[in-house]
Amino acid sequence: MTDNGIITPDLIRVIQQGYAINWNGIHGISHFQRVRENGLKLSGLTGANPSVVELFAFFHDSKRINDAGDPGHGSRAAEFVRKLNGSAFFLERDELELLAFACEHHTDGLTEGDITVQTCWDSDRLDLWRASIWPDRDRMCTEAARSEELIRWASSRIRLQSPG
C-alpha cells in the first residue's frame, strides 16, 4: 500500500478494528487514502517527513465516534498513536510527537507550526471537497497547498459524499 512500508495491511486492520463509524463513509478509508496522496504530494514540495504524513492520513480521524461534531477525536487519535508506536509501527520520539500533535490539533484551525505538521493539516484540508466544502486558501498552512494547481488536482480526485 505504500512505498516505504509504514502503512501495512496489519496496521490497517488494527485501525479498522477500533473504528467506530462507517469505514466507507465520509471520514473512512477513502478519505484516509486521499489524505495520504495529498500529503505525499505535498511532502515532496515542502520537505515534510513522509512517514509522519502517511501515518497522520490513517490516524487523524481513526477515533471518531460520529461524522458530525466530535471535538475529542483528535486527542483520542493522538493517544492511539502513542499506544501503537513500537508495535504496529515505529517512529522516533520526535516524529511520534509531531504525529500526535498533528492528530490532536488537526481541527483547531491552526496554520503555523512545524512543516511536517503543517503538511499533515493541509493534506486533510485539501480533502474538504468530499463534504462539498471549498478549501479556503487562507486556512492552508503551506504555499504548496495554496497553489491553484494543487487545489484543482485535489478536487479532481473527490467523489462527493454525504455525511453518514
CA distance 42 to 145: 7
How far is Cα 81 from Cα 97, in angstroms, rounded to an integer?
Answer: 9
Residue with cell 493522538: 78
The per-residue pLDDT for range 30-62, each reduced to its tens digit, is 999 999 999 999 999 999 999 999 999 999 999
pLDDT reading at 1 higher than 50: no
Indicate the residue type of 36.
R
The string of pLDDT tens digits covering residues 97-117 is: 999 999 999 999 999 999 999
The pLDDT of residue 47 is 98
Burial of 127: CB neighbours in 10 Å, binned 0-12, 13-18, 19+: buried
Which tops the pLDDT comparison, 133 or 66?
A: 66
Per domain, the residue ranges of the chain are 9-156
pLDDT score for 116: 98
Was domain 9-156 assigned CATH 1.10.3210.10?
Answer: yes
Check residue 40 and give its pLDDT.
97
For residue 13, give the 3-state DSSP assignment.
helix
Whether 3 shows a pLDDT value over 60: the answer reads: no
Whether 4 shows a pLDDT value over 90: the answer reads no
Residue recorded with cell 471520514: 27
Q: What is the pLDDT of residues 114-164, one digit of tens each?
A: 999 999 999 999 999 887 888 889 999 999 999 999 998 998 887 544 444
Check residue 161 and give its pLDDT: 46
Give 17-31 pLDDT, tens digit per residue.
999 999 999 999 999
Phi-psi region of 109 (alpha: psi -120 to 50; beta: other; left: phi over 0): left
Give me 71's grid cell: 471535538
